[in-house]
Amino acid sequence: MFIKKISFMLTVIVLSFFTIHSAQAANISFKDLSSSHPAYKEIMYLVELGVLEGSFESGKRVFKPSEQVTRGQAAKMVVVATGKTPLVVTKSSFTDIDLKTNAALSGYVERAVELGYFSEYSPGKFGPKVALSRNEMSKVLSKAFNLNIEITANLDLPFTDVAKNDPYYKYISAIYYNGITNGTGDATKYSANAPVTRAQFSSFVARASSEKFRLDLPVHGGPAPDVANAIGKVIVAVDGLNIRSSAASDNKTNILGKVNTGKELSVFEDQGYWLKVAYNGQFAFVAKEYTKTEEQIKQENPPSEQKPTEQKPAEEPTTKPTEPEVEEPTTAPTDTEKPTEEPKVDMPPVQTSSIGIATVNNLNIREQSSSSSTSLAKINRGTVVDVLSHNGYWVEVYYEGTVGYVDKRYLRLKNTVGNAVQDRIIIIDPGHGGKDPGAVSGQAVEKSIVFKVSNLVKQKLEADGAKVLMSRTGDTYPSLDDRITFAKSNYGEMFISLHANSSTNTSPKGTETYYSITSNDNEKEDVVLATNINNQIVKNANMSNRGVKREDFKVIRSLTIPAVLVELGFVSNAEDRSKLLDDQYIEIFAQSIYNGIVEYYARN
Per-residue confidence (pLDDT) for residue 335, from 0 to 100: 41
280, part of any domain: yes
Are the C-beta atoms of 32 and 62 separated by less than 8 Å?
yes
Q: What is the CATH number of the domain that holds 460?
A: 3.40.630.40
Q: Once rounded to an integer, what is the mean pLDDT over residues 494-517?
A: 91
- Could you tell me the pLDDT band of residue 185, with boundaries at 50, 70 and 90? low
Task: State the pLDDT at residue 253.
Answer: 67
Residue bearing the bigger pLDDT, 307 or 250:
250
In a domain? residue 347: no
Sheet architecture: strand order including 494-501: 467-470, 425-430, 494-501, 563-570, 511-515, 545-550
Is a pLDDT exceeding 50 seen at residue 476? yes
3-state secondary structure of 517: coil
- CATH code of residue 299: 2.30.30.40
Instruction: Quickly list H helices, 145-188.
Output: 149-152, 169-177
pLDDT at 449 over 90: yes
Q: Is the pLDDT of residue 14 over 50?
A: no
* 445 in the same domain as 304: no
Do the domain assignments include residue 208? yes
**Is the dihedral angle over the CA atoms 593, 595, 599, 601 positive or is it negative?**
positive
Residues 378 and 504 in one domain: no
Specify whether 190 is located in the same domain as 324. no
Q: Residue 344: is its pLDDT beyond 90?
A: no
Q: What's the pLDDT band for 251 if we cut at 50, 70, 90?
A: low
Q: Is the confidence at residue 338, as pLDDT, over 50?
A: no
Q: What percentage of the chain has pLDDT greater than the value 70?
A: 83
Q: Is the pLDDT of residue 432 over 60?
A: yes
Looking at the structure, do residues 171 and 117 belong to the same domain, yes or no?
A: yes
Let me know: does 546 contact 480? Beta carbons within 8 Å: no
Mean pLDDT value across residues 277-284? 78
**Who's near 378: CB < 8 A, 6+ residues apart?**
362, 363, 364, 365
Contacts of 291 by beta carbon, 8 Å cutoff, 6+ apart: 234, 235, 236, 237, 241, 265, 275
Kind plus residue range of the DSSP H or E element containing 440? strand 440-441
Count how many residues are written for the chain: 604
420 falls within a domain = no
Q: Across all residues in the chain, what is the average pLDDT?
A: 82
Task: Kindly indicate the confidence band of residue 153, based on its pLDDT and cuts at 50, 70 and 90.
Answer: confident
- Closest to 410 measured CA to CA, from 497, 269, 551, 524: 524
Residues 457 and 401 in one domain: no
Same domain, 76 and 130: yes
Examine the domain organization and report whether 431 and 501 are in the same domain.
yes
Number of domains in the chain: 4
pLDDT at 341: 38
Instruction: Give yes or no for residue 48 having a pLDDT over 80.
Output: yes
Q: Are residues 313 and 360 in the same domain?
A: no
- Kindly state whether residues 322 and 464 are assigned to the same domain: no
Rounded Cα–Cα distance for residues 534 and 549 (Å): 10
- Domain assignment present for residue 532? The answer is yes
* pLDDT score, position 250: 66
Angstrom distances, CA of residue 293 to CA of 225, 237, 305, 325, 356: 20, 10, 22, 22, 30
Nearest CA-CA partner of 216 in 177, 258, 187: 177
| Residues spanned by the domain of 293 | 221-336
pLDDT > 90: percent of the chain: 49
106 with 239, same domain: the answer is no
Q: Are residues 28 and 155 in the same domain?
A: yes
CA-based nearest residue to 333, from 264, 261, 252, 408: 252
Residue closest to 562 by CA, chosen among 514, 513, 493, 489: 493
What is the tens place of the pLDDT at every residue in 374-407? 999 999 999 999 999 988 899 999 999 899 999 9
State residue 308's pLDDT score.
39
Local confidence band at 219 (pLDDT 50, 70, 90 cut-offs): low
Q: Is residue 446 in some structural domain?
A: yes
Q: What pLDDT, in 10s, does the model give residues 562-594?
A: 999 999 999 999 999 999 999 999 999 999 999
- 181 belongs to a structural domain: yes
Residues 177, 130 share a domain: yes
Q: Indicate whether 129 pLDDT > 60.
A: yes
Is 117 among the domain residues?
yes
Instruction: Report the candidate in 513, 564, 498 with the shortest Cα–Cα distance to residue 543.
Output: 513
CA distance 162 to 341: 49
